[in-house]
Chain A
Amino acid sequence: MTQDQSNGVVVTRNVWKIFGDRAAEAMEAVRREDLSKAEVLERFEAVVGVKDVSISVDEGEIFCIMGLSGSGKSTLVRHINRLIEPTSGEILINGENVGNLNAEELRAMRADKIGMVFQSMALLPHRTVRDNIAFALELRNVDAFTRANVAERVIELVSLQGYGDRMPSELSGGMQQRVGLARAMAADPDILLMDEPFSALDPLIRRGLQDEFLELSQRMKKTTLFITHDLDEAIRMGTRIAIMKDGAIVQTGTPEEIVTQPADKYVADFVAGISKLKLIFAHTVMQSVEAYESNGKPLPSFDDCPQASPEDDLDVLVGLAINQENPIVIVSDSKPVGVVTKDALLRGIQGEV
């Protein structure tokens, strides 16, 4: 959590958002006295939406913000394109303070640099799929010919070929969200804000869209802020995950860090039910050869042991361990660097390493 705050593509510095008529007053009081959310509500009839959030999102990564409803994740992400103004703190995009933009610059930034996908899709029902996709371009007065070309290219990207002239109401929910995604990508923005994009979809369709988005994201290298209330989704999608509770960020880290070293009980409860098979890797559960042999058991010759690399996950290790008497030897640069016993493997699956 002690990252360099200035390097990221999207950086927020101590962002606070307090809703209510007496927000400024409440902010002052919070600065002075460090009030709790309930106290602010009682004394100022104001709701703390976002509480002192500082994050830094690196170029090309998918930064997941995970939290239950009401935790302030949607509010936070709306600060980035200034759909919501912070009560205090600042937001930088490529080092530029968003708060200093005037109305026209802000619109230009929203249209050119940031694409947004909504849980509710929020497509325009009176426009065709193509016109919906090209909406951001149209708002920037791009000519119709270019718009049609761009739209056609993006339609292909999200595999909606042939649906350009349909109305959104003729499409299924999953397809509508593809249109939403295409609309966000049409202006070729640097940053994607995805506000629970797949939450309203059926599990199977959600899964499919997640895979497609991951694949797309690896190709397009867009810096993405991905909001979700589903930890499984966060772990699948996220390069890093920030967990929010009551407006504040509880923990930031890679999926493996979150699962293996939860910062507090709240996070621990969250990750308790998560399958660790794909999240924990051999280098985390292995012990050194010396430590293994210090227990008095000599290691069998390497050729009799199954071998794996430090980057293999538990899933692979379990596959190797089945029908095997000997422990797994972890090999790096054709040298043994560690040993994984069955006990260590089982502990790893439990999440206790």
Chain B
Amino acid sequence: MPDETDIRKPFVDFAGPNGTYYADTFLSIQKMTLSRFHINVAALVGSFIWAALRGNWALFVISFIVDLITLVNIALVYKYSKAAVDNAEKSYLVERYEGWSQTHMIAAILVFVLGRLIFGWLADRLYAVQYERWRINRKVNSGVVASRLLVALLTFALILPLLLYRTTQFSPEERSCIRQDRAITQGEEVVFKKRFDCYFIGEFPTLFWIDRPDEISYPRGEDGNRIVKRTPPRADAPPVNLNTYTSQAIDDSIGYVTVFYGFLFDGITQILRAMLTAITSVFVGTPWPIMMCVLLYVAYKMAGIRTTIFVGASLVYLALFGFWQTAMDTMSLVVAASLICFIVGLPLGIWVGKSERGKIIVTPILDVMQTIPSFVYLLPAIAFFSIGKPPGILATVIFAMPPMVRLTALGIHQVPENTKEAALAFGANPRQLLTKVEIPLALPSIMAGINQVVMMSLSMVVIAALIGAGGMGYVVTEALENTETGRGVLAGLGIALLAMMIDRVVQKASKARRN
């Protein structure tokens, strides 16, 4: 048997003051003999002060929040009972305020009692966890240190007054604050309390106002060419905030680019339209019996008989309910968008996978592309390319490209280092390394990328109907506008079948390739 004091020594070292109590408690926690109702009385009474002294910030936050909620509720009791006294002549208001006051009183008591009890119960258990971490890392807080109390009290002092003030006051309206702002700029005197309220307990204040920028238009000059025309704002026009100012600047630059470099966007539009026309002529131009047979054959070759049956049934649904033409339209859009995603995304992905700099440059752009809501893509697409199918394709490409780049990069990155080393040892040059080793080994990942691209293209193409891309999405938006629920449901089902069809075929095909 090891000496009893030896066993208790680390606990005492850790806890410092009152070490024997903590040694007993931690020992019984380790032996699993701690009473189910064990409560640390010091913690129960001392609350966040105890937690701060002991340096356990998780416990500090818990007790701090319990005490804050209690205090806020008491403040609310005060606020409503005062309001009840102030509005003594309106009996219905008195009744309401007294009711609220009572509710908050009960809440305050409940939170305080229950919260403290739970905290006292948690205290030793979480403190034991801190001890375990301290065993591993001696930098973890131990003992009792007075300076921690200072931090705790400072936090309390910073948060509590404003919070209590906020709860006891009725917050000002945004509009009255703006009015007050203007009044101040014109030199009027405003009571300090009102200013304070607007700045600290209302909405985030507009810190600075900016003079309205010049209005810019691009009329044709005398020689028939576009010129930039600036009109200064009216003298009495009110200033604007940062948001209005910046969005105006963005609008102006987009306007400038579209007016003076419009040929660029027209060129892109032409290329996209030509590409789409070619693809559409295949899908829509081919007589439906031939197209249907081709689709079934492709499904059979790529994914086997079961998928083909499903594809056949889906095609029959689309045809019988009159969606054949629109579905083929949508297919053309998906194929066009996916093709562009592949052509651009594959080299980009290889670059990201192989070069650290490529990763640093491209990854944040992809993050932005993926986090911006898909509807937001539609706006710049319209701004630069107006409405129709080409901007629809572009918005789709931006939405659907990230997985292509990411999965290609992942695949390239995951090629084992020793396989690459072996290829180099046998004299591979960089091009051979890429085409004979890296791309073949990354192929499963690349195929997964293509699958993702196709699925995301389909979902975005439907949304792109909002800017005139047409196809199945158009039927849905039309039904939405005219509240034709039945038509909408049928078209929605058609889109789902289309998606499932494409997904099954592409997925089975990529799986077959992997094996």
Q: Which A residues lie within 8 Å of B422 (CB)?
A: 116, 118, 122-123
- Using an 8 Å CB-CB cutoff, how does the interface string of B420-439 with A read, 1 for contact, 0 for none? 01111111110010001100
Q: Decide yes or no whether B441 CB sits under 8 A from chain A.
A: yes
**B426 — nearest CB in chain A belongs to which residue?**
A136
Q: Which A residues lie within 8 Å of B424 (CB)?
A: 83, 110
Asked if B423 and A107 make an inter-chain contact with CB atoms under 8 angstroms apart, the answer reads no
Measured in the bound complex, the distance between the Cα atoms of B424 and A83 in whole Å is 8
**A125 — nearest CB in chain B belongs to which residue?**
B441
Asked if B425 and A124 make an inter-chain contact with CB atoms under 8 angstroms apart, the answer reads no
Q: Looking at the assembled complex, report how far the CB atom of A114 sits from the nearest CB atom of chain B, in whole angstroms.
A: 8
Q: Looking at the assembled complex, report how far the CB atom of B365 sits from the nearest CB atom of chain A, in whole angstroms.
A: 29
Q: Which A residues lie within 8 Å of B443 (CB)?
A: 126
**A184 — nearest CB in chain B belongs to which residue?**
B426
Asked if B421 and A83 make an inter-chain contact with CB atoms under 8 angstroms apart, the answer reads yes
- Using an 8 Å CB-CB cutoff, how does the interface string of B463-501 with A read, 1 for contact, 0 for none? 000000000000000000000000000000000000000
A111 in complex: contacting residue of B419, B421, B427, B440, CB < 8 Å = B427
Q: Decide yes or no whether A245 CB sits under 8 A from chain B.
A: no
Q: Decide yes or no whether A71 CB sits under 8 A from chain B.
A: no
Q: Which A residues lie within 8 Å of B436 (CB)?
A: 124, 135, 138-139
Q: Decide yes or no whether B289 CB sits under 8 A from chain A.
A: no
Measured in the bound complex, the distance between the Cα atoms of B421 and A39 in whole Å is 31
Measured in the bound complex, the distance between the Cα atoms of B424 and A193 in whole Å is 14
Measured in the bound complex, the distance between the Cα atoms of B356 and A30 in whole Å is 31
Q: Decide yes or no whether A81 CB sits under 8 A from chain B.
A: yes
Asked if B427 and A136 make an inter-chain contact with CB atoms under 8 angstroms apart, the answer reads yes
- Using an 8 Å CB-CB cutoff, how does the interface string of B291-318 with A read, 1 for contact, 0 for none? 0000000000000000000000000000
- Using an 8 Å CB-CB cutoff, how does the interface string of B333-368 with A read, 1 for contact, 0 for none? 000000000000000000000000000000000000
Measured in the bound complex, the distance between the Cα atoms of B433 and A139 in whole Å is 9
Q: Looking at the assembled complex, report how far the CB atom of B14 sits from the nearest CB atom of chain A, in whole angstroms.
A: 32
For the complex, count residues of A whose C-beta is within 8 A of B. 28
A126-B440, A126-B441 as given contacts; A107 in contact with B428, CB under 8 Å: yes
The residues in A between 95 and 119 inclusive whose CB is less than 8 angstroms from any CB of B are 103-104, 107-112, 114-116, 118
Q: Looking at the assembled complex, report how far the CB atom of A192 sits from the nearest CB atom of chain B, in whole angstroms.
A: 12
Q: Which A residues lie within 8 Å of B247 (CB)?
A: none
Q: Which A residues lie within 8 Å of B437 (CB)?
A: 124
Q: Decide yes or no whether A239 CB sits under 8 A from chain B.
A: no
Q: Decide yes or no whether A221 CB sits under 8 A from chain B.
A: no
Asked if B425 and A110 make an inter-chain contact with CB atoms under 8 angstroms apart, the answer reads yes
B426 in complex: contacting residue of A104, A110, A125, A126, CB < 8 Å = A110
A136-B426, A139-B427, A183-B426 as given contacts; A122 in contact with B432, CB under 8 Å: no
Measured in the bound complex, the distance between the Cα atoms of B59 and A315 in whole Å is 75
Measured in the bound complex, the distance between the Cα atoms of B425 and A112 in whole Å is 11
Q: Which B residues lie within 8 Å of A187 (CB)?
A: 426
Q: Which A residues lie within 8 Å of B161 (CB)?
A: none
Q: Decide yes or no whether B373 CB sits under 8 A from chain A.
A: no
Q: Which A residues lie within 8 Å of B425 (CB)?
A: 81, 83, 110, 114, 116, 193
Q: Decide yes or no whether A166 CB sits under 8 A from chain B.
A: no
Asked if B427 and A140 make an inter-chain contact with CB atoms under 8 angstroms apart, the answer reads yes
Q: Decide yes or no whether B231 CB sits under 8 A from chain A.
A: no
Q: Looking at the assembled complex, report how far the CB atom of B441 sits from the nearest CB atom of chain A, in whole angstroms.
A: 7
**Majority SS at the chain B contact face:** helix
Q: Decide yes or no whether A54 CB sits under 8 A from chain B.
A: no
Asked if B416 and A122 make an inter-chain contact with CB atoms under 8 angstroms apart, the answer reads yes
Q: Decide yes or no whether B418 CB sits under 8 A from chain A.
A: yes
Measured in the bound complex, the distance between the Cα atoms of B426 and A140 in whole Å is 9
Q: Which A residues lie within 8 Å of B423 (CB)?
A: 124, 135, 139
Asked if B428 and A139 make an inter-chain contact with CB atoms under 8 angstroms apart, the answer reads yes
Q: Which B residues lie within 8 Å of A193 (CB)?
A: 425
The residues in A between 74 and 94 inclusive whose CB is less than 8 angstroms from any CB of B are 81, 83
**A111 — nearest CB in chain B belongs to which residue?**
B427
Q: Looking at the assembled complex, report how far the CB atom of B297 sits from the nearest CB atom of chain A, in whole angstroms.
A: 27
Q: Which A residues lie within 8 Å of B440 (CB)?
A: 124, 126
**A122 — nearest CB in chain B belongs to which residue?**
B422
Q: Which B residues lie within 8 Å of A103 (CB)?
A: 429
**B427 — nearest CB in chain A belongs to which residue?**
A111
**A108 — nearest CB in chain B belongs to which residue?**
B427
Q: Decide yes or no whether A120 CB sits under 8 A from chain B.
A: yes
Measured in the bound complex, the distance between the Cα atoms of B419 and A349 in whole Å is 45
Q: Which A residues lie within 8 Å of B427 (CB)?
A: 107-112, 136, 139-140
Q: Looking at the assembled complex, report how far the CB atom of A184 sits from the nearest CB atom of chain B, in whole angstroms.
A: 8
- Using an 8 Å CB-CB cutoff, how does the interface string of A62-81 with B read, 1 for contact, 0 for none? 00000000000000000001
Q: Which A residues lie within 8 Å of B429 (CB)?
A: 103-104, 107, 139
Asked if B432 and A120 make an inter-chain contact with CB atoms under 8 angstroms apart, the answer reads no
Measured in the bound complex, the distance between the Cα atoms of B453 and A301 in whole Å is 94
Q: Which B residues lie within 8 Å of A125 (CB)?
A: 441
Asked if A139 and B418 make an inter-chain contact with CB atoms under 8 angstroms apart, the answer reads no
The residues in B between 397 and 418 inclusive whose CB is less than 8 angstroms from any CB of A are 416, 418
Measured in the bound complex, the distance between the Cα atoms of B429 and A104 in whole Å is 8
Q: Which B residues lie within 8 Å of A108 (CB)?
A: 427
Q: Looking at the assembled complex, report how far the CB atom of A96 sits from the nearest CB atom of chain B, in whole angstroms.
A: 16
Measured in the bound complex, the distance between the Cα atoms of B436 and A266 in whole Å is 45
Q: Looking at the assembled complex, report how far the CB atom of A142 sits from the nearest CB atom of chain B, in whole angstroms.
A: 12
Give me 5 other A-B pairs in contact (C-beta within 8 A), A116-B422, A139-B426 excluded: A120-B418, A122-B416, A126-B440, A126-B441, A187-B426
Sort A-B residue pairs by CB-CB distance and give the 6 closest, nearest first: A111-B427, A122-B422, A110-B427, A136-B426, A107-B427, A116-B425
Taking beta carbons and an 8 Å cutoff, which residues of B are in contact with A? 416, 418-419, 421-429, 432, 436-437, 440-441, 443
